[in-house]
Structure 1
Amino acid sequence: MSQQVVIIGGVALGPKAACRFKRLEPESNVIMLDRSPRISYGGCGIPYYVSGEVSEITGLQSTAFHMVRNPEFFRDVKDVDARNETEVTAIDRAAKTVTAKHLPTGREETIPYDKLVLAMGSRPRRLPIAGLDLPGVHTVDSLEAAESIKAAVAAGSVGSVAIIGSGFIGLEMAVAFADMWGLEVTVIELFDQILPGVTGPTLSTMARKHMEEKGVAFRLSEQVARIEGNGKVERVVTDKGVVEADMVIVSVGVVPNAELAKAAGLAVSERGGVLVNEHMRTSDPDIYAGGDCVEVKNLVTGQPMYLPLGSMANRQGRVIGDNLAGGDARFTGVVGSWCVKLFDLGVAGTGLTLAGATRAGFDAVATHITAIDRAHFYPEHGLMSLELVAERGTRRVLGLQGVSVMGDALIGKINTVAAMLPQKPTVSDISNVEVAYSPPFAAAMDILNTVGNAADNILTGQNKGISVTEFAKLWDDADSNVQVIDCRENLQGAPLEAKHPGRWHNIPQGQLRHRLQEVPKDKPVFLMCNTGARSYEALVTLTDAGFTQVVSVEGGMAAVNAAGVDV
């Protein structure tokens, strides 16, 4: 029996649900409505259009076979009645109709539905400050915004850019402006680190250090007070100073577009997301919702979370398309996987950070390693830093984050753990997880197995580690009386011993058993090597010899250097 399905929203989830449903029920009618001029585009690609890596804006709208996904495409190729520049102003659940307004003409129409899909997406969070409407202040939320930003830069009227917010889009835009256009870029962040909420401080510092080396400036722990300018934007004023700028990008997150749903009496969460079950049904069984306007279940914590990602919207769209046709497809939830490319560095994660795990009520520990990501003897290799978060007692793995110059290799590690997280893996599962091995691609003891082993050593008390962030604070404190034992060979360790007499001592790990008398027993001792392997061996030796104030610096000098710690 044919039915009429109305879809509100035509960017990611809407088109996916429409096309999937039409393949299952070709005889049914689908009407897709969106208020924007252009539909079905990859919004996550906007920074790459601004940078010039995507040369034409239609590249973000095109299929893999170079057809632009406009209303004509959906009509002729997908048999979907797609109507752009058409805003839905009301939902009448009792009559099962929506009121739609054609924005160019103002013409209103009442459209009946058998099933309704809410794919209304999100909108940029608006800061409560003056100056947001000045010319030259932009958000990154549409193809029209992308064209306006790129046109201004290409015209040569922009020499400096201030970016408010250091999340994914903010940092990607920083890369686009600095790398491709050579602009002066300053990122202003309210928190004390970049990528707040998704990385720990050590990995965040590594990513920031890399971006600073590429010319991007950061102003952390600063709150924006207002944006100023005479006829156009000229500066951003914070609680700690002023940032001069010819353009300002505001990228401080998004909020779900759920007002229509709330007005129609559908269940909406306190944070504003539409509530759905595993079938993506709302509190009305004839109405489905997905994408950026809904909340989903976090499969690690079991609690609701908001995760506005195009990849998730597409997966949910297929589930909804199946269920519109009478299927029993389910979207059980997410673990929160993400990745971002920052110049030459890949940064990625899945699950919880240590701070996130603590907030969720877990008694958790984070284990950091920095090591070569493939066989050390293979000519092409790079350093990778991983941080594994696990629960004490149960040994359950809660998350994994990392940074690497080999971004594809990093994503492989993250995706492996992401696939495991719904099954509540333990540290032992990570230690023994099977991964493909060949020297050009991995080490015989894969770095993923290694971080699992390192976490196991910490959880069992065999290894006592300190993060680079903690080490840096103590090292910079002249009153901390920190003593470093450098376990590397003399060629590497002796120069630092000479530079920091009385604080830095070079005792190669192979000589340590015969030089125990040189290690102070009445002061905190930090063991250092290249990556943490030899310092762990040294810790075992010293612990066996009765030393109690000894810890190993996680990730060693590789992590220290990547984080920009001045030793």
Structure 2
Amino acid sequence: MKVVIIGAVAAGPKAASRLKRLVPDADITLVDQDELISYGGCGIPYFVGGDVSDEKELRSTSFHMVRDPYFFQEAKGVTTRIKTRAVSIDRKERLVHVEDVITGEKDALSYDKLVLATGSRPNILPIPGRDLKGVYAISDLHKAVAIKNDLAAGRVRSAVIIGGGAIGIEMAEGLADLWGVDTTIVEFMPQILPRIIGPDMAAMVQEHLKERGVKVHTQEAAKEFVGGGDGRVERVVTNRREIAADLVVMAAGVRPRSELARDAGLLVSPQGAIIVNQHMQTSDPDIYAAGDCVEINHLVTGRKFFAPLGSLANRQGRIVADNLAGIPSVFPGCVGSFIMKVFDVCVGSTGISLETALSEGFDAVEAKCVQSDRAHFFPTQALLFLNMVVDKRSRRVLGLQGLGKMGDGLLARINAACGLIERRASVDDFSTLELAYAPPFSTAVDVLNAVSNVADNLVSDRLKTVSIQDFMAWMEGRTDHPDWMALDLRHPKEAALLAERFPGRWIAMSYDKVRGDYQALPRGKTFILICNAGTRSYETQCFLRSVGIDSLVLPWGLNGIARLGAKWLI
């Protein structure tokens, strides 16, 4: 069997190596237009930021062999042609026409089976000045090396990142943390990490970036990159301001490389991704595709979508190899799991956000819970904030987002939720989910169980909440709700300061006094119940409802408000 694989970064090498193990006598050729192959592209921000000291580490195995043509030929038995561009595919003759990118010499490779792993390319914004020195889009390892060389040469004092997605934020952290660069993120959408996490959690991430010296401007668009006499960028002009910049990184997303497939007559989606079935076959059964160039099924929405992740590319590459070897295998799709580091915290999600759920027609609500990631009495405990998105009618869990201290605590909950969400689990499945327990690792009622219990109360109409955004607007005087009054259930010493600061709006009555003293509460008010996390507030709400008093619980309590940078709380 003669197999040609176009693309040698993630899916391609995985398919080649797996297939060679399954069919040792297969004749496999990897083709890539670059000289640097089989590297961890998701590690580029950490190379720029110094966590990874040498770019070779991104191209090396765990046993420190560089994945280059020699490695694939001698260790894997796979022929590799670098600096070779695939120009066209002749499906009738089963030929891939290629050319040497240095000499222009042309050749043709015959195949029995063909694999397209052509990946994605960054979106280059059509902005004047995009060709100036110091303006980059992270398209490959070469650009990362160039950025790091600029930094090491002392040419960068200030930087602007265009795009507040994962790559943009990771790049911003690397520039500000290791290199001490004055860094600004410009994001066109109303929040960073749009459609991945909710606005409240995004505001927490933004506040943490601000604390670490990274400025963030949302709902703002770059209009022009302005250079100096040496042809190097000096500033970025947006629709609101001018920002000094010796370095600009365009991190405005990526799009699939599908031109080769389209020109060969293969089916490509309106969004530009190669259409494949669950066996990763294209519309030509002898041609497979995998990685960032394909569209896949979203297991929550049921729609096709584009998910450029190295983890998925490797899984798909294995599926391709299995099918080529005669082992029927399918890639059913995914729910879009994600996690990232942001200085001292991490943020992650799986499934869909509330915004996406509503746009997809779900009757969705969002339950919020904050709780210690391990026993509250354990010295290393830290708060973990979770949002659970649930369809009210079916009680199906649609998504989970979280933010917590940098570590593995959030990752464990996201991964557990991912496995359940892709199987269409309900709130009740999450509530009764068995999780390993010991005080150094979790609480007896884990935060993942706890947020599902909050969701159960919410969809069952036992819990009534106020949105954090509405509460913040009220406290900051941007909206007026004359019938609202904050009822602070914390210890009197904790509550006294805010009660004195906001007379007539904020009153203190500790949690243990409500049952005995509730008749002293002013009549005709809707009480916004305040505690640190929301647990005492919900229990108080249950009691107040029984005596005919209206109330709303503030989700996440003051633990959440404190992380939003509320000036009135200080």
TM range, smaller chain: over 0.9
1:48 aligns with 2:46: yes
1:562 aligns with 2:560: no
The 2-side partners of 1:319 and 1:263 are apart by 25
Structure 2 runs not aligned, ≥5 long: none
Q: Equivalent residue for 2:17? A: 19
| Equivalent residue, structure 1, for 2:109 | 111
- The letter of the residue matching 1:514 is G
AA paired with 1:42? G
| SS of residue matched to 1:301 | coil
- Within 1, Cα distance between the matches of 2:320 and 2:174? 35
SS at match of 1:368: strand
Q: Following TM superposition, by how much is the alpha carbon of 1:514 offset from its aligned partner in structure 2, in angstroms?
A: 2.3
Q: Which amino acid counterpart does residue 449 of structure 1 have in structure 2?
A: N
Aligned 8 A contact 1:468 1:563 in 2: no
2:74 aligned counterpart, secondary structure: helix
Equivalent-residue separation in structure 1 for 2:493 and 2:408 (angstroms): 33
Structure-2 separation of matches of 1:84 and 1:197: 38
Q: Does 1:318 align with 2:335?
A: no
Aligned-partner residue type, residue 328 of structure 2:
D
Instruction: Give yes or no for contact 1:119–1:292 (8 Å, CA) kept in 2.
Output: yes
Aligned residue identity for 2:27? N
Distance 2:248 2:406 in 1: 31
Aligned position for 2:90: 92
> Contact 2:526–2:549 (CA<8 Å) still a contact in 1?
no
Structure 1 residue 130: deviation in Å? 1.0
Provide Cα deviations, 1:140-168, integer angstroms capped at 9, x if missing partner.
12111011000101111110000000111
Q: Deviations over 1:506-565 (max 9, x none)?
A: 1111111222234334233210101000011111111111123x1000010111111222
Alignment partners' CA distance in 1, 2:305 and 2:106? 36
Matches within 5 A, 1:269-308: 269-308=269-308
- CA shift, 1:241, in A, is 1.1
**In structure 2, the residue corresponding to 1:23 is in which secondary structure?**
helix
Instruction: Measure, in 2, the Cα distance between the counterparts of 1:183 and 1:110.
Output: 48
* Residue in structure 2 matching 1:142, options 140, 143, 155: 140
Asked if 1 retains the 8 angstrom alpha-carbon contact of 2:117 and 2:292, the reply is yes
Between the aligned partners of 1:361 and 1:521, the Cα distance in structure 2 is 39
Separation of aligned partners in 2, 1:4 and 1:399: 43
Q: CA deviation at 1:480?
A: 2.9
Aligned partners of 1:216 and 1:448: how far apart in 2?
Answer: 31
In 2: Cα distance, 1:308 partner to 1:427 partner: 29
Q: Which residue of 2 aligns with 1:494?
A: 496
Work out the number of aligned pairs and report it. Answer: 564
- The 1:100/1:521 distance shift into structure 2, 3 A limit, reads farther
CA contact (8 A) 1:368 1:467 kept: no
1:534 to 536, 542, 549: 536
Of 226-235 and 155-164, more deviation after overlay is shown by 226-235
Q: Give ranges in structure 1 of 5+ residues lacking alignment.
A: none
Return the alpha-carbon distance in structure 1 between the equivalents of residues 55 and 124 of structure 2.
Answer: 26
Q: Which letter maps to 2:176?
A: A
Q: Distance in 2 between matches of 1:107 and 1:525?
A: 77
Are the counterparts in 1 of residues 362 and 391 from structure 2 also a CA contact under 8 Å? Answer: yes
Give the Cα–Cα distance (whole angstroms) in 2 for the partners of residues 331 and 510 of structure 1.
54
Instruction: Please give the secondary structure, in 2, of the residue aligned with 1:465.
Output: coil
Question: For 1:520 and 1:131, how far apart are their aligned partners in 2?
Answer: 62
Q: Counterparts of 1:264 and 1:358 in 2: how far apart (Å)?
A: 38
- SS where residue 422 of structure 2 aligns? helix
- AA of the residue aligned to 2:450: T
Counterpart of 1:268 in structure 2: which amino acid? V
1:325-368 per-residue CA deviation (whole Å, 9 max, x = no partner) reads 11201100000000000001010000010001011110100011
1:169-203 C-alpha deviation (Å, 9 max, x unpaired) = 10000000111111100000001111111000111
Report the Cα offset of residue 406 of structure 1. Answer: 4.3
Aligned to 1:428: 428
Mapping of residues 216-295 of structure 1, within 5 Å:
216-230=214-228, 231-295=231-295
Please give the alpha-carbon distance, in whole angstroms, between the structure 2 residues aligned to 1:8 and 1:102: 14
The answer for the alignment partner of 2:466 in structure 1 is 466
Task: Name the CA distance, whole Å, in 1 between partners of 2:164 and 2:145.
Answer: 22
Q: Secondary structure at the match of 1:560?
A: helix
The 5 A counterparts of 1:157-176 are 157-176=155-174
User: Secondary structure at the residue paired with 2:236?
Assistant: strand
Structure 2 CA distance, aligned partners of 1:298 and 1:69?
32
Q: Distance in 2 between matches of 1:520 and 1:114?
A: 81
Deviation at 1:477?
Answer: 2.6
The SS at the match of 2:4 is strand
Residue 194 of structure 2 aligns with an amino acid whose one-letter code is P
Check the 8 A contact 1:101/1:108 in 2, yes or no: yes
- Deviation of 1:504 (Å): 1.2
TM, length-normalised to structure 2 = 0.98
* SS at 1:520 equivalent: coil
Residue 82 of structure 1: aligned partner: 80
What is the deviation of 1:51? 1.2
The sequence identity of aligned pairs, in percent, is: 45
